[in-house]
Chains A and B, each alone.
Chain A
Amino acid sequence: MNAIQQVIQKQKQNGYRCLIGYITTGDPSPLQTLEIADALIRGGVDILELGLPFSDPIADGPTIQNASLRALKAGTTPKCVLEIVKQIKTKQDIPLVIMTYYNPVFKYGVKRFLIDAKMAGVNGFIIPDLPIEEADEYRQAAKTAQIETIFLASPATSPQRLQRIVDASSGFLYLVSRFGVTGIQTSVEDTTVNLIKKVQPFTSGKIPLAVGFGISKPEHVKRVISAGADAVIVGSAFINIVQRSAQNHGTTLKELELAASTLKVATKV
């Protein structure tokens, strides 16, 4: 069993589900990312999802778009992201996955990037603009580098496609909770609960089911977990904290830790 699944399994045995926290690497600066990651891990994030910023993130809402722009302005490059991964890994034993769009990976060289990422300590990749049909080279390279390929499923995905996506995925399946882009919303809709119930039979016994997009509050976490999710992914809510208190870094870190711990408590079954 791979490191990602081990963590999810362990949480389950302890009566919890898994909290996956997303931040954009290099926002507001590469150095601060290390402290932000520490704060989230202290708060109880079980798996860290690090965004490698891309100039044109079409699957992201304004929060992550702006974070990506700030990170790029701060000079964040793929090498820089791998360096940060290395530094986190020397201190913390936590699975790390990279979320990015395909072009930065392609430009670096798919094989080379996955090998370098593995050496840095990356456990998996999420590439939202790379559907299974276009992923042959990436899957091959990931297999060689022993990196997990986390594919996305959506409310528009048919059962036939869902089966193929589950088969191509390792680590966990990333279920997009709703029609739309990333970003917080006020509540988790019934349609999301029904979607989880529909997808769960496909993943059950095969691969953990993680649900993301629009999850920001403890009550959202509880709802998604009671519907059958093995993990929840929270991103924009953390980034909003980073952005809001950009002037006072100390406060930001405390707020992030508190937000993560409140969400983690909500993952208790």
Chain B
Amino acid sequence: MNKISSYPVDGKFGRYGGRFVPEILMEAITELEKAYDQAKADPAFQKQLDYFLAEFVGRPTPLYLAENLTQKLDGAKIYLKREDLAHGGAHKINNTIAQALLAKRMGKTRIIAETGAGQHGVATAIACVALGLKGVVYMGTEDCERQRLNVFRMKLLNTEVHPVDSGSKTLKDSINEAFRDWVTNLESTYYLIGSTMGPHPYPMIVRDFQSVIGKEIKQQFKQKTGGLPDALVACVGGGSNAMGTFYPFEDDDIYVKLYGVEAAGQGIETGKHSATLATGTEGVFHGMYTYILQDLHGQISETYSVSAGLDYPGVGPEHSFLKTLKRADYVYVNDQEAVEAFLMLCKEEGILPALESSHALAYAIKLASRMHKDQSIVVTLSGRGDKDVESVAKYMGMRI
């Protein structure tokens, strides 16, 4: 078999992925793939991207040993990959700045994006301002409500926010609407997808641009300890921060365990969750063949999580591939465990994590206590939690 990292082959990760899109988009995604291949081979593009990542995004982000937390848990050492310190407050900017550069190279003037928690929307808005592009973001009305702060941030950043009132009024519906905009404005518009999902080549492009996270982890961990971590833990909604974390470790480091943490919401048994890989079945959704949450008739299920960024009934096809190969384990954490982890990191380390990242943290906390003291876990702290303080207060029955 080929190395895992050599996928996608012909647009597919094993049987996952593909291009299940309306005919009208086929030429556009083919054109995108060509443009991406050319950019990847062009040292000038890489140089430009490196410049923005260093000078504008603030990379590399630190790999921080959470000593207080480690001491308290009395298990494996916990390191935090501080994507929350990237400009905009999340890993999303790694991808948006890179894709916006690609869009500009392709001569596009208008960028559209979907957003759940608002982090990808904000990161898109930032990239658009920095590169002089027009930004338009679709966001479910339910998400606009629970992430009001980010809606206002996008507006401050000169970006149009279109509330989407159809379906479950969350991330999946904002993606539907972004696709509809794209087919209507194909000529001028670049669809900047925010996760490792959608039709080929998006899952590959977003993974490549996010894999700066895993590359840095590898290098920084080696510098600190001389070896490799025993486990990597990251949260999975669409799966971009996890894919970016896992990718550089996919092939040669089989002793590095990979854990993707999904949102169990109010509990798997209640049906109010977004644990797609853990409980879903295979199907076709948003341009890809992958695991999805659906009913008996193939209708997409409505999902739930306290964190808007994980509230999605699909998942990137490469995660489905890693699950099938058993290269990564996909586990879940419920709302309550995530909020407890959120509070613990605030109290122990003085770091306010995003609710999405708190899911990864909650699992790492469980995992650490089962591991030896001389072992290490790296948790990707995909974003900061300032946007979530209102949701957390509400969850705790408090008003700010």
Please list the residues of chain A having a beta carbon within 8 angstroms of any beta carbon in chain B: 54-59, 61-62, 65, 69, 72, 77-78, 101-108, 128-131, 133-134, 151-158, 161, 165, 176, 179-181
In the assembled complex, the Cα of A30 lies from the Cα of B184 at a distance in Å of 32
Chain B residues with Cβ below 8 Å from A176 are 22-24
Inter-subunit contact A77/B297 (CB<8 Å): yes
A217 to chain B, nearest CB (A): 21
* Bound complex: CA A269 to CA B371 (Å): 79
Interface centre among B18, B22, B184 (most CB of A within 10 A): B22
- Chain B interface residues toward A at CB < 8 A: 18-28, 166-167, 172-173, 176, 179-180, 183-187, 283-287, 292, 294, 296-300
Instruction: Indicate if the CB atoms of B186 and A156 lie closer than 8 Å.
Output: yes
> Nearest CB to that of A153 among chain B residues?
B23
Greatest chain A CB density within 10 A among B23, B28, B299 is at B23
Q: Could you tell me if B184 and A134 are in contact, using CB atoms closer than 8 angstroms?
A: no
A55-B24 in contact given A103-B285, A133-B19 (Cβ < 8 Å): no
Name 11 interchain pairs, CB-CB below 8 A, sorted by A: A69-B167, A101-B284, A103-B300, A107-B297, A128-B22, A129-B20, A129-B284, A134-B18, A134-B20, A157-B24, A157-B27
Closest to A175 in B: B23
Question: In the complex, are the beta carbons of B24 and A58 less than 8 A apart?
Answer: no
A131 contact set on B, CB distance < 8 A: 19-23, 26
Query: CA A153 – CA B287 in complex, angstroms?
Result: 18
Q: How far is the CA of A108 from the CA of B294 in the complex (A)?
A: 12
CB distance from B204 to the nearest CB of A (A): 16
Q: Smallest Cβ distance from B18 to chain A, in angstroms?
A: 5
Q: Which residues of A contact B24 (CB under 8 A)?
A: 152, 154-157, 176, 179
Q: How far is the CB of B13 from chain A (nearest CB, A)?
A: 15
Residue of B nearest to A104 (CB): B298
CA distance A221 to B185 in the complex (A): 25
Q: Which residue of B lies closest to A57 (CB)?
A: B176
| Shortest distance between the CB of B178 and any CB in chain A (Å) | 9
Inter-chain contacts of A106 with B (CB < 8 A) = 283-284, 298
Q: Using known A-B contacts A103-B284, A130-B20, A154-B22, determine if residue A56 contacts B185 with beta carbons closer than 8 Å.
A: no
Q: Are A156 and B27 in contact, with the CB atoms below 8 A? A: yes
Bound form: Cα–Cα A171–B227 in Å: 63
Q: Which residue of A lies closest to B283 (CB)?
A: A103
A107 touches B27 (CB 8 A): no
B185: chain A residues within 8 A (beta carbon) = 179
Contacts of B21 in A (CB 8 A): 129, 131
**Highest count of chain B CB atoms <10 Å: which of A55, A101, A104, A128:** A55
- B269 → chain A, closest Cβ, in Å? 23
Instruction: Please name all residues of chain B whose beta carbon is closer than 8 Å to the beta carbon of A105 when the two chains form the complex.
Output: 298
Would you call A157 and B166 a contact (CB within 8 A)?
no
> Chain B contacts of A61 at CB under 8 A?
180
Q: Output the least CB separation between A57 and chain B (Å).
A: 8
User: Could you tell me if A65 and B166 are in contact, using CB atoms closer than 8 angstroms?
Assistant: yes
B184 pairs with A180, CB closer than 8 A: yes
Asked if residues A157 and B299 are in contact (CB atoms below 8 Å), the reply is no
Q: State whether A181 touches B180 (Cβ < 8 A).
A: yes
Query: What is the bound-complex CA distance between A61 and B176, given in angstroms?
Result: 10
B176 → chain A closest CB, angstroms? 5
If A107-B283, A156-B28 are given as contacts, then 5 extra A-B residue pairs at C-beta distance below 8 Å, sorted by A number, are A58-B176, A104-B297, A129-B287, A156-B23, A156-B25
Give A162's nearest chain B residue, CB to CB. Answer: B23
Q: What separation, in Å, do the CA atoms of A151 and B24 have in the docked complex?
A: 12
Looking at the complex, which one of B23, B27, B180 makes contact with A151 (CB distance below 8 Å)? B23
**B23-A154 in contact (CB<8A):** yes
Does A55 contact B167, Cβ atoms closer than 8 Å? Answer: yes
User: Which partner residue on chain A sits nearest B285 by CB separation?
Assistant: A103
7 A-B pairs with the lowest CB-CB distances in the bound complex, closest first = A107-B298, A154-B24, A104-B298, A180-B184, A58-B179, A103-B298, A55-B299
A165 to B184, CA, bound (A): 21
Chain A neighbourhood of B176, CB < 8 A? 56-58
Neighbouring B residues of A130 by C-beta, 8 Å = 20
Task: Specify the chain B residue showing the minimal Cβ separation from A180.
Answer: B184
Q: How far is the CA of A102 from the CA of B23 in the complex (A)?
A: 13
- Is B20 touching A102 in the complex (CB atoms < 8 A)? yes
| Residue in B167, B186, B299, B300 whose beta carbon sits within 8 Å of that of A179 in the complex | B186
In the complex, A156 Cα to B296 Cα: how many Å? Answer: 35
Could you tell me if B183 and A179 are in contact, using CB atoms closer than 8 angstroms?
A: yes
Contact B298 A108 (CB under 8 A): yes
